[in-house]
Amino acid sequence: MQQNQHSMKFNLLIKEGPYTHQASDSAYQFVKAALTLGHEVVRVFFYHDGVYNASRLNSPPVDDRNVTSRWVKLAEKHDLDLVICIAAALRRGILDQDSARRYGKDVDNIDSRFTVAGVGYFIEGSIIADRTLVFGD
């Protein structure tokens, strides 16, 4: 969507898991609305339990929303930068292929649309953005 003269750049931090707190749902709805209004989302950074949003192994009942799938589809449609904190992910057993190999695990579980990086990526997003929003405690 074309940016309007009052468009803003947002950086988001999500600190809660997908099914235990409303933070991820609220952040998702905010991003959808912001993009619809012509704003830019610089980055969505998942921290603490927020890294669970990236698990490709989440398998909710068919009558429930698939939070990971929703983020992935939104990211693909709008070329969003979805980043999870590597330290938080490792502590919680959320592993990309490189980490699984490095730590001798037989499976990785991060959806390929998410990037694993350090907290510096969140800081960089905050520098680039006009506003940084935090979702979760």
Residue 4 lies in a domain: no
CB 136 within 8 Å of CB 23: yes
Q: pLDDT of 102-128, one tens digit each? A: 999 999 999 999 999 999 999 999 999
Q: Is 137 helix (H, G, I), strand (E, B) or coil?
A: coil
- Just list the catalytic residues: 85
- The whole model's pTM is what? 0.93
Residue 53 lies in a domain: yes
CATH number of the domain enclosing 81: 3.40.1260.10
pLDDT digits (tens, 9 = 90+) for 54-79: 999 999 999 999 999 999 999 999 99
Give the per-residue pLDDT at 6. Answer: 85
Q: Is residue 2 part of a domain?
A: no
Angle at 54 between CA 47 and CA 123, to 5 degrees: 35
Total of domains in the chain: 1
In a domain, 15, yes or no: yes
Q: Is residue 1 part of a domain?
A: no
